[in-house]
Amino acid sequence: MPDKYHIHTELAPHRFRPVGKFGIVDWREDCASCHNCVKRACAYGFYREEADTLRDEIGYLDYIYQCKGCLSCVQDCTKGILTRVVNPEYNRMGDAYYTPAIILATWFQAETGRVPVSGAGYGGPFTGTGFDSIWTDMSEIVRPTRDGIHGREYINTSVDIGRKNDHLIFENGELIASPPLLVSPLPIIFEAVPERWLREPVQEVVSRAARQLELFSVVRGGAIPDGLSIANDNIIPLLDNFESLSAGAFASAGMIMVPDRPLIGAVISTLKEKNPEQIVAVRMEAAPDSARRAVELAGKGIEVLHLLFDSHGREKASAKPRHARDVIREVHCALVKGGMRDQITLIVSGGIALPEHMAKAIICGADLVAIDIPLMIALECRMCGECDRGERCQIELEEIDPRFARERIINLMGAWHSQLLELMGAMGIREVRRLRGEVGRCMFFEDLEREIFAPLFGKRKAGSVSI
C-alpha cells in the first residue's frame, strides 16, 4: 500500500483586489454614528480589514466585496440603512460555463488550500446540464470515521497510467514483465497551457508545481522551459509534427503524447524503437464516432487515449454536440463490451472546472482528467477575454512571481484532493480506481425524472430547461 498522499499548503493572498459577489450599500446620510457599529461586529471581520486598508485612501467604505452574505449587519442596524447588493463587476466575470461562482470558489481554494464554504448557504438550482446533472451517492456520510479522512483512515487517490495485462503471461516457464506503468498520486495531470495564457513564466510555473505535487504536466515539444528535465521533472512532451518524432530528443520521457492520425501505429513504432519502455498517449478530439475509434485504437495496442473536449466539455460535432458526460460513458462501455477496458488508460480534458467534475468524469468511465483553465483561474485570471482581444492583461500574468504562482496551484490541488477524499469517504469508496465507471454509485437527473415524475406529469417538452 503506498504512503498516504498529503499536500502541504500555505496561505497565498491575492496580488490584486478580488472581485466578490456581494456588497453592502451604506446610506450614510441616515447613519446615527453608533459607537459600536454593527459592521464592526461582522463575524468574518471583513469590514475591519477593508476599513483599515481604505481609510487613508477613501475615508469611508461603500462596498464590501468579500461579504459572505450572512446579513447580520443588515438585520442588526438600528437605522436600517444597510442593504446587500450584487457586485456588478462580479456579473461581468467568466462565461456561461466558467461562471463567476466557479471563479470565486477557485480563487478561495488557490489562496487558502481549503474547501470553500459560504456563510449564506447555497441558494441556486440543484441540477443543471452536463456534470451538474449527476448527483453522487452520499449514503456513507452518516457513518463518519473516528478521526476523519485526514486521520488514520486510508483512502487511496493514486491511479496507474499505461496498458495493463488482463492475465499473467509466461514464456519458457518465466513470468513476462508487465508493460510499463506510471503512477499519479491524484487522478489529475496538468494539460498544456492554452495559447492565450502561454507567456513567461506560466508554463514553467505549471510544470514545477506538477513536479512538486508528484503529478505530470503536458508541455508542447518546442516549449519545454529551461532548467526542466524531461526525464526527471514529470514532463509529458506533446509532439505535433513527425520531424520532432523522429529527432529522438524526447526518448528519455517516461510518457509522450501525439495527436491521432492515419497510420498512428507506425508513429508509435518509431517512438518505441528509441525507448521501448516509453508510454505513448494518443490525443483524439471527442466526436460522434469516438467510441468506435477508441475500440479500434485499443485493439492496436494503444496504451493511453487522451480524449479532448472543448473548454465547456462538449464534443466536436456540427449539430447537437454532446457533453463529455455522455461521450465518456459511451467510450467506456464500448471498451468494456470489447473486453479491453483495462488494457487502456482513458484521460479526458475540457470542461473539468471543479473537483466534483473530476470525480463525476471518473464515475462516467475516465481513469483520470487533465486540467488547464482552473490552473489559470488559480493565478487570479478573471476569464474576461481581454487577452484574446489583444488587450493588456488585468492581472499582469507575465509579471507574476513564480514562487507565488506555484503556491497558488499547489493550494488549489490541496483543496481538490480534500474534496475528492470527502466525496469518496461519503460514498464508502477507499480506492479511486474503484470509482471508475461506478455509475451505480450516482444518480442521473434525467433517469430520476423519467422514472419518478414522467408517470405523473408526462414527458418534458422539447427545448425546456431542467432547473
Q: What is the pLDDT of residue 432?
A: 94
Look at the chain and report how many structural domains it folds into: 2
Per-residue model confidence (pLDDT) at position 98: 94
Q: Which domain holds residue 374?
A: 152-450
Residue 100 counted as domain residue: no
> Quick one: average pLDDT of 60-68?
58
Residue 134 counted as domain residue: no
The average confidence (pLDDT) of the chain is 85
| 84 within 8 A of 27, measured Cβ to Cβ | no
Q: Is residue 417 part of a domain?
A: yes
% of the chain beyond a pLDDT of 70: 87
pLDDT at res. 39: 75
pLDDT over 80 (residue 74) = yes
Contacting residues for 74 by C-beta, under 8 A, at least 6 apart: 24, 82, 83, 84
Confidence of residue 244 (pLDDT cuts 50, 70, 90): low
| Domain co-membership, 70 together with 178 | no
Name which residue leads in pLDDT, 369 or 26: 369
pLDDT value of position 303: 94
| 145 falls within a domain | no
Contact 255, 236 (CB under 8 A): yes
Region of 461 on the Ramachandran plot (φ > 0 left; ψ -120 to 50 alpha; else beta): beta
> Could you count the other beta carbons within 10 Å of the beta carbon of residue 240?
14
Same-domain check for residues 74 and 160: no
Mean pLDDT across 140-155 = 64
- Grid coordinates representing 19 are 472581485
Residue where a domain stops, chosen among 65, 86, 107 = 86
Are the CB atoms for 361 and 320 separated by under 8 Å?
Answer: no
- Answer yes or no: is 56 within a domain: yes
Residues 188, 316, single domain; the answer is yes
Q: What is the pLDDT of residue 144?
A: 52
Q: Say how many CA atoms lie within 13 Å of 425 toward its Cβ.
A: 21
- Model pLDDT, residue 324: 96
Structure-model confidence comparison of residues 209 and 397, the more confident one: 209
As a whole number, mean pLDDT of residues 410-425 equals: 94
Clarify whether residues 44 and 167 are in a common domain.
no
- For residue 67, the domain's CATH number is 3.30.70
**Separation between Cα atoms, residue 424 and residue 58, nearest integer Å:** 48
Distance CA 368, CA 227 (A): 28
* 298 lies in the same domain as 429: yes
Q: What is the pTM of this model?
A: 0.88
Q: Which of 30-39, 73-82, 157-166 has the highest mean pLDDT?
A: 157-166
Under DSSP, the state recorded for 439 is G
Q: Please provide the distance, in angstroms rounded to a whole number, between the alpha carbons at the two ends of the chain.
A: 43
The residue with greater pLDDT, 22 or 447, is 447
Please indicate whether residue 191 or residue 229 has the higher confidence score (pLDDT).
Answer: 191
Which of 295-301's residues contact partners 24+ apart within 8 Å by CB, and which partners? Answer: 295/334, 295/335, 295/338, 295/340, 297/260, 297/264, 297/344, 298/335, 298/338, 298/340, 298/343, 298/344, 299/338, 299/340, 300/264, 300/265, 301/163, 301/265, 301/268
Q: Return the residue matching grid coordinates 513564466.
A: 201
